[in-house]
């Protein structure tokens, strides 16, 4: 799909960093419609607690679609408590094969504090290679910045915040108003 047909991909930056026994997922607060900033304080990172298990999720793309996916993920986690990988694969399978879900335009980063995954509508459940991943329009900027800081003394949160600041300086669809959620296992 051409970039101009799916402007939702260009409206945010979400990063996940796993370091020092914790995972941090951070997201900016900017909501853009074309070249106009509609809102600067949106919360694109959320804490879920299906079945009493703590999960953190961040989303890029259409907000309504992302909320639909988060609800589906919660339902999968309630059926498979404490098994984020299994619930993520089940969600990705449904997303890929269900005619309604196939139309959803979003991506998710999810973590239970020990693992971190990117879930896509292409049926992918990806584990990042260098304990850092990012999605959205500024995702590659944040990813490169974070990868450059992983071997420093910075904590997961410090890496995530610094990487997001760099992405916000480069990507016009990303701002510095962050929502940061930390989770340990």
In this predicted model, what pLDDT tens digit does every residue of 86-115 receive, in sequence order?
999 999 998 888 877 777 888 999 999 999
The residue from 12, 13, 68, 80 that is catalytic is 12
Return the closest-CA partner of residue 27 out of 8, 47, 45: 45
Give the mean model confidence (pLDDT) for residues 9-20: 86
Is 80 part of the annotated catalytic residue set?
A: no
Q: Answer left, alpha or beta for residue 136, where phi above 0 means left and psi between -120 and 50 means alpha.
A: left
Binding-site annotation, residues = 168, 171, 174
pLDDT of residue 1: 40
Give the mean model confidence (pLDDT) for residues 115-122: 92
Binding-site annotation, residues for Na(+) = 168, 171, 174
Give the mean model confidence (pLDDT) for residues 145-158: 98
**Whole domain around residue 31: which residue ranges?**
3-184
Give the C-alpha separation, 37 to 39, whole Å: 6
pLDDT of residue 62: 83
- Residue 2 clears pLDDT 70, i.e. is over it: no
CATH number at residue 31: 3.60.20.10
Percent of the chain having pLDDT more than 90? 69
Domain count, the chain: 1
| Residue 59: half-sphere exposure toward Cβ, Cα within 13 Å | 24
């Amino acid at each position: 799909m051409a970039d101009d047909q799916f402007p939702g991909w260009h409206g945010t930056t979400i990063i996940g960093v796993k370091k020092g026994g914790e995972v941090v997922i951070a997201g900016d607060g900017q909501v853009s419609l074309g070249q106009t900033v509609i809102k600067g304080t949106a919360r694109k990172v959320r804490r879920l607690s299906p079945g009493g298990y703590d999960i953190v999720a961040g989303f890029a793309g259409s907000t309504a679609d992302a909320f639909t996916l988060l609800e589906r993920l919660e339902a999968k986690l309630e059926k498979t408590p404490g098994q984020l990988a299994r619930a993520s694969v089940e969600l990705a399978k449904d997303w890929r094969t269900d005619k309604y879900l196939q139309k959803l335009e979003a991506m998710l980063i999810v973590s239970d504090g020990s693992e971190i995954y990117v879930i896509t509508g292409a049926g992918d459940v990806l584990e990042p290679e260098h304990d850092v991943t990012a999605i959205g329009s500024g995702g590659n900027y944040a990813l490169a910045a974070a990868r450059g800081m992983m071997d420093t003394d910075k904590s997961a949160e410090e890496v995530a915040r610094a990487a997001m600041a760099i992405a916000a300086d480069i990507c016009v669809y990303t701002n510095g108003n962050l929502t940061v959620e930390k989770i340990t296992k």
